[in-house]
Structure 1
Amino acid sequence: MLRLGGKRYKLFIAGYRYQAWLKQMAANPDKTLFLRVYPKCLMIPRKDPQIYFQVAAWEDENPWEEQPGIFKFRGVWQFVPQVRTPVISVYRNQNANDPKGKFKASHLPVLMRREDEAKPFRFNPKIAKEDLPPRWFVQGNFKFIPSRNCWGWDKDLEPPTKKIPRYKKPIKATADGQAPPRGNKKPPRKTDKPKKPTTDNKETDE
């Protein structure tokens, strides 16, 4: 568990790093470590987002330039149906690999007031696609605010742009929770051609 601002958050350590973490804790249980983490957010309809962190690395000293609690987000600023607060949607890079084949995006709730033309995108099914407002790609530093369970905008790393980098689109799981096979297209439906009426040419004796 990770304690921030009086709140406790779950830590997730993937793969071989978990065994290394256990050895580190067994050898030096009381030693202070500096963690580098990736934020994750589980969206549940009609409930507060559940935020947790994936540990990417740890060191005895702080070798990174970032200040504690500051995160660099690069993604699309928009609304999603699960929460009222706008989010930064961080998608997987075009050349990313995912063993599960799902390429899930991270939707991180943020508070950001800007004086330029950039606005969070909100999808409206009643508006034609060509009339929808533009989507903005935002790159900036965001500070985690435990009391609000979200991040607050600190500064831009680059000006917002309408040019969104190419990314892997998330793949929805099937009913059994598995990602559909790649390139699995539905076979075309077979349609029976109407048969021509036949005439009986046999001669009959009267």
Structure 2
Amino acid sequence: MTEQIEKIKKLIACSINPKQKAMYQQLLAKLEAEIKLQVKPEVEVKTNQRPPEPVPTSTLTEPELNTETNPPQEPEEEQLKTTSFFQAIGIIKGEVTLTPQSSSIKIGDKDYPLYILGRGRFLYEGLKKQIETTETSFQKLIVYPKFLHFPSKEKPHLVAFQVVAFFSENNQKQSTLDSVLKDFEFRLCGLWQFIPVCRTPCISVFKNFSKERLEFIKGKDVDLAKKVKFMKASHLPLLWKDSPVKPFRFNPKIQKEEQEKTYFVEIKARFLPNRDVFGFVELLSEPTTSLPKFLKASKQMKGEVLKQAQSKPREVETTPETEPVETVTVVDVESWDHIPTSPTLNIKDTK
């Protein structure tokens, strides 16, 4: 049929008679229409052939998991963002008082305890020399915040700071942090939630996971109480009026699967000494339910440490007026059923 079409096209090109040329054109249109009718079914079959549907990846990569230790994974886009880690670090300045027994910093009209751990002696001597060299006790420090909560919500929490470094001409640590944080600003990264002993929602900063820390915790020669203390979290009260996600609040009346989501947030906040809390300044990244790995002591370990503490004779201190001093009891705010809800390690006693 294609040969006939080619012949008719040649006749049309050579035709001089208008009537004859029109006849050839009608014949050409008829033949071309017949060809389209013959080809159409074949084209439709090809275009309607659907490629085999890919097997859902969930059936291959998502076996049934125990959500207590292996929660469902976030989408790939979220996994790329899990480079975050728990952190609470910032800059404060004030009148520093150093003594071998206890040190403190005065901010406004309040005195806050200063702890110098780790490289303690070296750091203590360095800061002492800095005060002597500058001839002023007014110093600028890089610190970790330390908050102590009490069982009663009515009793205010206590605030202290652990010294990481101090600002001086020879201190290189100051340059990086000072470029992103102003005085009294902190970088806070943790779980945004309510805890039972604080009316203000907190950012809970847990101990980041590492193989070295895991080996330390599983060590048989390490005291159990020391292990639990090492894994204790810091709960930092935060005023955040228009937070994009709600702070988690545990509801004992519903099942774990029905609880609200727990979000990991990274923010910049300012320490407010007039209220001993933090105030939101800036969101550093979008809140996510994909939590970094962290270490947390099991209920079994905490219970054993509590038994050991209760079995010891209770010492009662007295003031010169012979009035008993209230013994500090720190409530365990990390033993809720909703934690862990992420890739965490609930460490058990390995003794």
Give the Cα–Cα distance (whole angstroms) in 2 for the partners of residues 4 and 93 of structure 1: 30
Q: CA deviation at 1:7?
A: 1.3
Q: CA deviation at 1:51?
A: 0.6
Q: Does 1:101 align with 2:227?
A: yes
User: Computing the radius of gyration over CA atoms, which structure comes out larger, 1 or 2?
Assistant: 2
What secondary structure sits across from 1:158 in the alignment?
A: strand
Shift of 1:26: 5.4
Distance 1:125 1:181 in 2: 24
Q: Which amino acid aligns with 2:277?
A: C
CA distance in 2, matches of 1:27, 1:76: 37
Aligned to 2:157: 49
Question: 1:88 is matched with which residue?
Answer: 203
In structure 2, the CA distance between the partners of 1:83 and 1:136, relative to structure 1 (3 Å rule), is same
Cα distance in structure 2, aligned partners of 1:5 and 1:49: 18
| Matching residue within 100, 111, 125 for 1:22 | 125
Query: What amino acid is aligned across from residue 183 of structure 1 in structure 2?
Result: T
CA contact (8 A) 2:131 2:139 kept: no
TM-score (norm 1): 0.79
- Number of residue pairs matched? 182
- Find the aligned partners of 1:27 and 1:166 in 2 and give their Cα distance: 38
Q: Which runs of no fewer than 5 residues in structure 1 stay unpaired?
A: 185-206
Runs of 4+ in structure 1 off by over 6 angstroms are none
Bigger helix share: 2
Instruction: Indicate the SS of the match to 1:148.
Output: coil
Q: Name the structure 2 match of 1:189.
A: none
Matched AA of 1:89: S
Q: Distance in 1 between matches of 2:148 and 2:257?
A: 31
Partner of 2:281: 154
For residues 138-197 of structure 1, the C-alpha deviation after alignment (integer angstroms, 9 at most, x for no partner) is 1000100011110001011101111111110145234224xx98324xxxxxxxxxxxxx
Q: Secondary structure at the match of 1:9?
A: strand
The answer on whether the counterparts of 1:105 and 1:170 sit within 8 Å (CA) in structure 2 is: no
Name the CA shift for 1:28/1:155 in 2 (closer, same or farther; >3 Å).
closer
Distance 1:23 1:149, change over 3 A: closer
Q: How does 1:111-122 map to 2 (within 5 A)?
A: 111-114=239-242, 116=244, 118-122=245-249
- Contact 1:33–1:60 (CA<8 Å) still a contact in 2? no
1:72–1:140 Cα contact (<8 Å) kept = yes
> Separation in 1 of the partners of 2:129 and 2:243?
51
Among the aligned pairs, what percent are the same residue?
Answer: 35
- Report the alpha carbon displacement of residue 57 of structure 1 after superposing the two structures with TM: 0.9
Look up the match of 1:79.
194
How much has 1:114 moved relative to structure 2?
2.2
**Secondary structure in 2 matching 1:176:** helix
Q: Which of the residues 295, 304, 307 maps onto 1:175?
A: 307
Q: Aligned partner of 1:127: which letter?
A: I
Find the counterpart in structure 2 of residue 8 from structure 1: 111
- Distance in 2 (CA, whole Å) between partners of 1:107 and 1:164 is 16
TM-score between the two structures when normalised by the length of structure 2: 0.48
Cα distance in 2 for residues equivalent to 1:181 and 1:138: 27
What amino acid is the match of 1:92?
K
CA contact (8 A) 1:78 1:89 kept: yes
Which residue does the alignment assign to 1:129?
256
What is the CA-CA distance between 1:28 and the residue it aligns to? 4.1
Question: 2:111 corresponds to which letter in structure 1?
Answer: R
Distance 1:154 1:176, change over 3 A: same
Residues 207, 295 of structure 2: 8 Å contact kept: yes
Report the Cα offset of residue 23 of structure 1.
Answer: 5.4
